[in-house]
Amino acid sequence: MHEFIKFETQPKYVIGDLVKMNLERYEFFASDNFRRYSFYSVGPKRRIKKTVVYSKVQEGPVIYNLAFGDEDIITGEIDDKIVTDNEDRDIVLATVANTINAFIDRYGNHFIFAKGSTPSRTRLYQIGISRLINEISTDFDVFGVIGDKVYPFKTNFNYEAFLIKRK
């Protein structure tokens, strides 16, 4: 049984009608400027706060980086190196994908860049995307970067990073 935690009131974000993905996800909360999103992964072991932050990394074409990881509830710092194993990987990934929709609704349909902080973390992203690609691709075009080339995402390829664009 989790302890009761009372936070300050803030409206929850409601996903718009454009979302076609048919995936189970967590409810998430957005910051005032809709650049930072948090949700709780709840598994058999514990509850973990997950946070997604979007920051602009270039103009022409505009690209936003998606930083994602576990947030320390005390310090507010994010870390993606922690292995939480909460048995909800697909739900977490679907929730992150939904934050992309929420972000794009506010900031426009720009490219979103995602890369793990280590090659093994990027590989985990790749495995997750591969597992859900049929659902994800109803809303998004996904690309993978290898060397100095950008390819349409395919399963069984090892990419260095990913680019996502809403259809």
Partner 1 sequence: MPAVKNTITKTASSHGIISETVKNHQNDPFVLKQAAAAKTLLNRPGVQEQLKELSKKYEEKA
Residue ranges binding partner 1 (CB under 8 A): 2-12, 15, 19, 21-27, 29-33, 35-40, 42, 47, 51, 53, 55, 57-58, 60-61, 63, 65, 67, 69, 76-80, 88, 91, 109, 111, 113, 115, 117, 143, 145, 147-150, 160-161, 163, 165
CA 54 to chain centroid: 10
Please state, as a whole number, how many other Cβ atoms lie within 10 Å of the Cβ of residue 22.
9
Is the CB of 80 or the CB of 105 nearer to partner 1? 80
CB 27: neighbour CB atoms within 10 A? 10
Q: Say if CB 126 and CB 89 are below 8 A apart.
A: no
- Nearest-angstrom CA–CA distance, 124 and 105: 27
The C-alpha angle with vertex 81 and arms to 76 and 85, in degrees rounded to 5, equals: 100
Least CB distance to partner 1 at residue 70 (A)? 10
How far apart are CB 144 and partner 1 at their closest, in Å?
11
Which residues are paired to 84 by β-bridges? none
Structure tokens at 159: 């990419």
State how far the Cα of 158 lies from the Cα of 122, in Å rounded to an integer.
9
Q: How far is the CB of 81 from partner 1 (least distance, A)?
A: 10
Shortest distance (Å) from residue 2 CB to partner 1: 5
Nearer CB in complex with partner 1: 16/155: 16
Residue number, 76 or 106, with CB nearest to partner 1? 76
Give the nearer residue to partner 1 in terms of CB position, either 11 or 156.
11
- Beta strand pairing status for 78-79 and 111-114? unpaired
CB nearer to partner 1: pick between 63 and 130: 63
Distance in Å, CB of 42 to partner 1, minimum: 5
